[in-house]
Structure 1
Amino acid sequence: MEWYEALGLLIGSIMFLMAIGMPVALAFLAANIIGAWVFMGGERGVVALLNNGWGSLTKFALVPIPLFLLMGEIFFHTGLGGRMFSAIDRLLGKLPGRLSYVTVLGGTGFSTLSGSSMGSTALLGALMVPEMNKRGYKKHMSIGPILGTGGLAIIIPPSALAVLLATLAQIDVGALLIAGIIPGLILAGLYISTIYLQTRLDPEAAPAYEVPPQSMVEKLGLLFRNVVPMIGLMVLIVVMMIRGIVTPSEAAAFGALGVLLLAVFYRCLTWDAVKASVRGALRVTLMAYLIVFGSATFSQLLAFSGASRGLIGWATGFDLDPILMLLVMFAVLLILGMFMEQISMMLLTVPIFFPLATSLGFDPIWFGLIMLLALEISFTTPPFGLLLFVMKGVAPADTTMRDIYTAAIPFIVCSLILVTLLILFPSLATWLPGTG
């Protein structure tokens, strides 16, 4: 069988099973069993493939995923996240568009820990949009920042999605997490500049309203009581990884313990919160582990059938500029994002794209960061980005899809500017990991 026939059989089987409603992880597992039967000699090949797949779940690099997820769940269910949102809101006072800034700052913290852009968009849409509408904010000022927070959440550590990508691609987890710090700060600056520009060009887009005056002592109390401990915990985790004091797995453990201790300190740790947190983290972790299992076996089948070798040979045979090939892969991710969730996209593309990127001479950490940004941009790309429809589901009834498209575009442009900067200046992603 030719390589393209093998590739067509494997991917075609997955797409067919997903189209008839089978869950993504199970569709990959079923397609892998079919592939093993065809390419690896029937029942014996299936047994060998499954045995090899189990080995992928015993990697120490997977440990941060459930711990980062548990950290985020505790942060949300105990109300620590709500305290931080409220404090940032009050600290910003009469700043024009302050609720938009609150959404970016607080939403990024929650999204980063939760690891789910769809979940955080639904939560922030239901929580922040009605409040901003009540205050007279125009739709692009309330919806746009929520759609934009995912771009920050996916690259600023601790990011469960970055850990999963690094594990699937078999690259250094810590290096990928650290690589996102400088680009993440640049993207945050671009988002804040966008909101500032929007309020300057149209002051009525985010009308000012009266807020209770607070003394400097009260503001400092809010800052050090409700913001610094939460943000400080995240900064501490990142610094310990950069300095090489802890591994990503140990950093995740410290993070989960730190949030737990904060919840105890603030007397908001209840049994119901613990149960909800463990349940939420367990649900996403099991899905992530199934994804890892499916990806590992899928990669083996691509190699065993000759599909990956044939695809790389075909792609590099055009003698295209590597950057042009990067743009082609970027475009594929944007298209897939209209129909698939991020983890599903990673499962399908990582076994193909990373060997191709390596053959083109790309730094794997730099390429991983580019791919993370492509995954997030694809989620908000009109007309079919999945987050656009999530937002439609939680936004007020009078919100049209055109309103959502218009709100998303400035923040998509910010992410595209960052991608351009990373292509022009790769050291933005590679310098910090190289200092460790």
Structure 2
Amino acid sequence: MDWWLFLLLFFLGLGVLMMIGVPVAIAFLLVNLAGVYYLWGGVSGFNQLILSIDSSISTFVLVPVPMFILMGSIMFHSGIAQRMIEVLDQWLGFVAGRLAVLAIGAGALLGTLTGMAMGSVAMLGSTLTPEMERRGYAKSMSIGPILASGGLAILIPPSTLAIILASLGGFSVAKILIGIIVPGILLAIMCIGYIVVRAMLRPEEAPAYEAPRIPLAQRLSDAAIYLVPPICVVVMIIGLIFFGTATPTEAAALGTFLTFVLAILYRKLNWQVLVKGVGSATQLSVMILIILTGSAAFSQLLSFSGATAAITGLASELPVPPLLLLVLMQVIIVFLGMFIEQTSIVLVTIPIFLPIVHQMGWDPIWFGIIMMVNLEMATITPPFGLSLFVMKGIATRGTAMIDIYRAAIPFILINILLMAIMIAVPDLVLWLPSKMN
């Protein structure tokens, strides 16, 4: 069978299974089984598949994934994350478009805790959107910032998606975690800048209101108690990784331990919180690891069928500039992001894209972080971005999909601008990782 026919049948089978409602992990397993049976000598090839599955998840590099998920889950279920947002709100009373800015700031905070875009959209959308509309905010100003905040969840370390991307791509977890810091902060600043300027130019879209006056002493006290300690945990994790004092796995374990200590000190850790926190973290971790089990087999099937070598050769011989090839790869990611979630996109594309990246001589860290910005943008790209439908499900009555599409467009353009800057100035991504020990 020609490689292109194998690839076509593989993705056709995957698409059919997903359309009839089969979970992504099971769909990958089934098409991998069919491919192994055909290419690896029938039933005897299943032994190799088992070894591939075992090697794909039995690696020290992936240990930070459940650790970071558990850390965020405990902070969320213990109420630490919600209290952080409340304290942040106390300091934004003077800012134009206050609640919209709060959505971006809260998204950045939740990003350090959960790393899940759609989870961030669901939480902030259900709490902040009704309040913004009650205050007279235009739909585009109440919905758009919530959608944008979800993207920050995967661009603010510690990011589970960054770890998964690095482990599948075979490059440094520590460097990609440090490399996403500057783009993540820059994206937050660009979004906040847009909101503030728009609120100043069109005050009717984000009406000012009298915020409760909280004494400075109380704000400082609340910040010192409820905001500084959790942020210090995240900063400590990043610092340990940056200076080479600890591996990402060791830093994740220490951060998770300190999160439990914080929950105890706040008197928020009880049996119910423990069961919910560990239960949800286990469920999410298992889902991610099951998806990853298909990675090694998929990569090997691509190589065995000749698809990897053929695609790499085809890409290198295309009569187009390398920049256009990079853009085409990003367009594919946006298209996939309309239908499947981010971890699955990484699983599908990395085995195909990474040989091309090496062939072109691009830095895989640089490419991976551009890809992450694109992945978060894909979830809010009309007409089928997954976060758009999450927003529709929790939006106030009377909100049409066209309202959500319009609200997302300015923030999609901001993401495209950030990607263009990263492509034009690679040092924006690579400078900080180059300074690591």
- Which TM-score tier does this pair reach, normalised by the shorter chain? over 0.9
Number of the residue aligned with 1:418:
418
Number of the residue aligned with 1:359:
359
Q: Distance in 1 between matches of 2:251 and 2:349?
A: 28
Number of the residue aligned with 2:106:
106
Are the counterparts in 2 of residues 68 and 113 from structure 1 also a CA contact under 8 Å?
yes
Are the counterparts in 1 of residues 107 and 152 from structure 2 also a CA contact under 8 Å?
no
Q: Distance in 2 between matches of 1:26 and 1:312?
A: 28
Q: Structure 2 counterpart of 1:263, which letter?
A: A
Are the counterparts in 2 of residues 379 and 386 from structure 1 also a CA contact under 8 Å?
yes
Q: Distance in 1 between matches of 2:28 and 2:104?
A: 35
Q: Distance in 1 between matches of 2:212 and 2:185?
A: 31
Q: How many residues align?
A: 436
Residues 159-238 of structure 1: pairs in structure 2 closer than 5 A: 159-238=159-238
TM-score by length of 2: 0.97
Q: Distance in 2 between matches of 1:18 and 1:211?
A: 48
- Confirm or deny that 1:15 pairs with 2:15: yes
2:268 alignment partner, SS class? coil
Number of the residue aligned with 2:85:
85
Q: Structure 2 counterpart of 1:313, which letter?
A: G
Once the two structures are superposed, residues 54-100 of structure 1 have per-residue CA deviations (whole angstroms, 9 ceiling, x without a partner) of 11211101001001100111111000011111111112224222111
Q: Structure 1 counterpart of 2:80, which letter?
A: L
Q: Distance in 2 between matches of 1:143 and 1:201?
A: 19
Q: Distance in 2 between matches of 1:191 and 1:230?
A: 24
Q: Determine what percentage of the aligned residue pairs are the same residue.
A: 45
Once the two structures are superposed, residues 120-150 of structure 1 have per-residue CA deviations (whole angstroms, 9 ceiling, x without a partner) of 2111111111111222222122111111112
Q: Structure 1 counterpart of 2:264, which letter?
A: V
Cα offset, 1:19, TM superposition: 2.2
Are the counterparts in 1 of residues 77 and 273 from structure 2 also a CA contact under 8 Å?
yes
**Which sections of structure 1, spanning at least 5 residues, go unmatched?**
none
2:228 alignment partner, SS class? helix
Q: Which moved more, 1:363-372 or 1:113-122?
A: 113-122
Q: Structure 1 counterpart of 2:352, which letter?
A: I
Number of the residue aligned with 1:305:
305
Q: Structure 2 counterpart of 1:188, which letter?
A: A
**Which sections of structure 2, spanning at least 5 residues, go unmatched?**
none
- Confirm or deny that 1:149 pairs with 2:115: no
- Confirm or deny that 1:256 pairs with 2:256: yes
Are the counterparts in 1 of residues 169 and 350 from structure 2 also a CA contact under 8 Å?
yes
Are the counterparts in 1 of residues 115 and 158 from structure 2 also a CA contact under 8 Å?
no
Residues 262-281 of structure 1: pairs in structure 2 closer than 5 A: 262-281=262-281
Q: Distance in 1 between matches of 2:16 and 2:377?
A: 26
1:303 alignment partner, SS class? helix
Cα offset, 1:20, TM superposition: 2.4
2:331 alignment partner, SS class? helix
Are the counterparts in 1 of residues 119 and 150 from structure 2 also a CA contact under 8 Å?
no
Are the counterparts in 2 of residues 91 and 223 from structure 1 also a CA contact under 8 Å?
no
Q: Distance in 2 between matches of 1:210 and 1:366?
A: 45
The Cα RMSD (Å) is 1.3
Are the counterparts in 1 of residues 139 and 403 from structure 2 also a CA contact under 8 Å?
yes
Once the two structures are superposed, residues 325-380 of structure 1 have per-residue CA deviations (whole angstroms, 9 ceiling, x without a partner) of 11001111111111111112111111111111111111000000011111111111
Q: Distance in 1 between matches of 2:204 and 2:232?
A: 35
Are the counterparts in 2 of residues 100 and 141 from structure 1 also a CA contact under 8 Å?
yes
Cα offset, 1:8, TM superposition: 1.8
1:224 alignment partner, SS class? helix
Cα offset, 1:235, TM superposition: 1.3
Q: Distance in 2 between matches of 1:20 and 1:215?
A: 57
TM-score by length of 1: 0.97
Cα offset, 1:46, TM superposition: 1.8
Residues 58-137 of structure 1: pairs in structure 2 closer than 5 A: 58-137=58-137
Are the counterparts in 2 of residues 94 and 209 from structure 1 also a CA contact under 8 Å?
no
Are the counterparts in 1 of residues 233 and 258 from structure 2 also a CA contact under 8 Å?
yes
Q: Distance in 2 between matches of 1:379 and 1:185?
A: 19
Number of the residue aligned with 1:334:
334
Q: Distance in 1 between matches of 2:114 and 2:172?
A: 21
Runs of 4+ that moved beyond 3 A? none
Are the counterparts in 2 of residues 72 and 114 from structure 1 also a CA contact under 8 Å?
yes
Q: Distance in 1 between matches of 2:101 and 2:20?
A: 42
Q: Distance in 2 between matches of 1:119 and 1:62?
A: 21
Are the counterparts in 2 of residues 71 and 259 from structure 1 also a CA contact under 8 Å?
yes
Q: Distance in 2 between matches of 1:320 and 1:49?
A: 37
Cα offset, 1:211, TM superposition: 2.4
Number of the residue aligned with 2:407:
407
Q: Structure 2 counterpart of 1:325, which letter?
A: L
Cα offset, 1:232, TM superposition: 1.8
